[in-house]
Amino acid sequence: MLVYLFRRLINVVLMLLVVAAVTFGIFFMVPKLTGTDPALLYVGKIADKVAVEGIRHKMGLDKSIVEQFWLFLKGIVVGRSYNAGTDVTHCYAPCLGYSFKTEREVWPLLLDRVGVDFSLAIGASILWLVLGTATGIVSALRRGTALDRISMSVALAGVSLPMYFTGLVSLAIFVGQLGWFPRKYTDFTADPVAWFQGLVLPWVTLAFLFAATYARLSRATLLDVLGEDYIRTARAKGLREPVVIGKHALRSTLTPILTIFGMDLGGLLGGAVLTENTFNLRGLGYEAVQSIASSDLPVIMGVTLFAAFFIVIANLLVDLLYAVVDPRVKLA
C-alpha cells in the first residue's frame, strides 16, 4: 500500500513534469513563431532598447532553453530570484513567474482565482451527484414507464444543450426578468449569503449539464447490474427487494460513478471556462481566456499546470478510492 502510494506519487510528479515541459515548450516556441519577443512583452509599449535588454537579462531570457527550463522548474520547487546587478526580485516557491500584463506574480493570482472554482465545484458537484444518480436509479427501476422516458429526455436535453445556452436563458429569466439572484460573485468569507445567492444559478446550470451524464450512466449501469447473477442469488436468498437493490445492486452501480466523478471534479477545479464566462465569475477558466486573449504566456502556463495538477491528483484519489470500494482491486 505505502509502496504503491509512493510509486503513484512519483508518477504524479513525472506527469506534472511532462506537462511543465510541454507548457514551457509553448512558452518558448510561441514568441518565435509569432515573431514577438517575451522581453518586449514584459516591458510594454514604450520599448527602450536598454530597458528591453535589462529585462531580458533579469528574467533570464538570454539564457539557453535548457537553462531556462531548469530555472522554471527550480522556481516552482524552491523559488527563484530575478536579479540584474543590484535590482533583485525574489519570487517565492511555488514561483510560476510574472504576468506580462499586470507584472504580478502568477501564483498568488491563481490562488485568488481558484476560490471561485472551488465554490462553483462544491455546490454543483453535490447537486449533480445527488440529482443525477437519483434520477438514473429511479429511471432504471421504473424502466419503460413514462417517468423513465421523461427523465431520460430531460437528461438528453441536459447533455445536448450547451452551457452558454442554458446559462444565458436562466440568467435572462431569473436575473433579468424575475431578479431573484444577483449576477455577481461574492467571496464566501465576505458574505456567505451573498456567496450562496450569487452561485445558485451557476450551480444549477452546471449541475444540469453534468447530472444528465450521471443520470444516463447510473441508469445504464444499474440495469446492467440488475441482470447480474449475484442479484439473482440475492433474490434466491429471500432478501427483500429494497435490500437487493439498496445493498447489492447500488454498491456495484456506484463504482463507475465514482470514477467519472473524480475526473469531472478534478477537471472543474482547473477552471470552468464556459460557466465562468457565462456567469461572469472570475475563476481560473476566466483567467485562462483572458491570458490567452492577451498572450500572457506566464499566466497561460500557470493555469495549465494548475489544472493539470488537479486532474492528476483526482486520478490518484479515484484509484485509491477504487481499492476501498472494490475488494478485488489490489494496490500493488
Instruction: Tell whether residue 233 is a contact of other proteins (CB under 8 A).
Output: yes
Residue 180 to residue 163: CA distance in whole angstroms: 20
Binding residue (CB under 8 A) for other proteins from 235, 309, 321, 323: 235
Site for other proteins in 107-166 (CB under 8 A): 143-144
Q: Please state the closest distance from residue 239 (CB atom) to other proteins, in A.
A: 5
Instruction: Tell whether residue 219 is a contact of other proteins (CB under 8 A).
Output: no
Instruction: Tell whether residue 324 is a contact of other proteins (CB under 8 A).
Output: no
Instruction: Tell whether residue 239 is a contact of other proteins (CB under 8 A).
Output: yes
Mapping DSSP to helix (H, G, I), strand (E, B) and coil, where does residue 110 land? helix
Residue 184 to residue 273: CA distance in whole angstroms: 17
Instruction: Tell whether residue 326 is a contact of other proteins (CB under 8 A).
Output: yes
Binding residue (CB under 8 A) for other proteins from 17, 228, 246, 280: 228
Instruction: Tell whether residue 62 is a contact of other proteins (CB under 8 A).
Output: no
Instruction: Tell whether residue 1 is a contact of other proteins (CB under 8 A).
Output: no
Mapping DSSP to helix (H, G, I), strand (E, B) and coil, where does residue 83 land? strand
Helices and strands in the chain, H and E counts: 14, 2
Q: Which residue from 135, 83, 134, 82 is spatially nearest to 105, judged by alpha carbons? A: 82
What cell does 136 get?
A: 438514473
What's the Cα-to-Cα distance from 285 to each of 137, 216, 245, 249, 276, rounded to whole Å? 32, 27, 40, 38, 6
Q: Would you say 253 or 275 has its CB closer to other proteins?
A: 253
Binding residue (CB under 8 A) for other proteins from 163, 234, 300, 307: 234
Q: Would you say 124 or 244 has its CB closer to other proteins?
A: 244
Q: Which residue from 305, 303, 245 is spatially nearest to 22, judged by alpha carbons? A: 305
Instruction: Tell whether residue 242 is a contact of other proteins (CB under 8 A).
Output: no
> What residue ranges bind other proteins (CB under 8 A)?
143-144, 228-230, 232-240, 243, 248, 251-252, 325-328
